[in-house]
Amino acid sequence: MISKKVILTGSFGVGKTSLFEQFLYSKFSQKYLTTIGVKVDKKVINVNGKELSLIIWDIAGEVKQDKVPNSYFLGTSAIIYVFDVTRKSTYEELDQDITHLKKMLPNGITAIVGNKIDLVDESFLQELKGNIPVPWDILTSAKTGENVEELFLNIGSQLLNQNT
């Protein structure tokens, strides 16, 4: 079976661990617990009849992505950059962060994810769209589970396409 490493990164408190836990264990906790270092787990997904093992690294949030230890990127196939749609501080340097991440992973997949959409409405998101430095790829709610499975299936599908 093909196995791929995926990193969840972004600022602190954006919901990386919540996305990780929602996707892997279908659970959500309202309580914020800061992540230290890195936690890894894997899940086998099925994309168009093909099985793929996603090894997901949930890493400690850093306000600036160049603070993430370079060794965490070793062997990475995809990066999921998560921001919090309600906190400007988590997306105002999105362009610099994405430039840095693309430098770390020139041939990999980078997905930009706006999380916590359960806290806002459609008009808020429309306004956000016009103000964000780089467009997002998908909006999620780790709390309700909205688009969480889709996010990882999308990544899986792109990884499998890259592999063929």
Partner 1 sequence: MHTFLISPQGKIIKESGNLFPVDILQDFSPKLLCPILNSIFEELVKLKPSSPAIFIPAVNLSIKSINGYFDYLLSKKEDGSILWIVEDTTESNNNKLVRLQPEMEQKLKDETVQFLNFGKNCDISD
* Residue 41 touching partner 1 (CB under 8 A): yes
Shortest distance, position 59 Cβ to partner 1, whole Å: 9
Q: State the binding string over 46-65 for partner 1 (x if CB under 8 A, else -).
A: ---------x-x--x-----
> Binding residue for partner 1 (CB under 8 A) from 40, 44, 103, 150?
40
Instruction: Read off the amino acid at residue 18.
Output: S
- Give the Å distances, CA to CA, from 69 to 12, 104, 115: 15, 11, 24
Scanning 44-52, 71-79, 96-104, 139-147 for contacts with partner 1 by CB under 8 A, the matching segment is 71-79
Helix count and strand count (H, E) for the chain: 4, 6
Distance from the Cα of residue 77 to its chain's centroid: 13
Instruction: Read off the amino acid at residue 111.
Output: A
* Residue 87 touching partner 1 (CB under 8 A): yes
Q: Residue 66 and residue 88: Cα distance in Å, rounded? A: 19
* Residue 45 touching partner 1 (CB under 8 A): no
Shortest distance, position 103 Cβ to partner 1, whole Å: 18
Residue 38, Cβ neighbours under 10 Å: how many? 15
State the distance between the two ends of the chain, measured CA to CA, in whole angstroms.
14
Shortest distance, position 123 Cβ to partner 1, whole Å: 6
Q: State the binding string over 88-127 for partner 1 (x if CB under 8 A, else -).
A: xx-----------------------------xxx-xx--x
Q: Specify the 3-state DSSP secondary structure of 149.
A: helix
Q: Residue 68 and residue 78: Cα distance in Å, rounded? A: 15
Contacts to partner 1 by CB under 8 A? 3, 5, 12-13, 32-42, 55, 57, 60, 69, 71-72, 74-75, 86-89, 119-121, 123-124, 127-128, 131
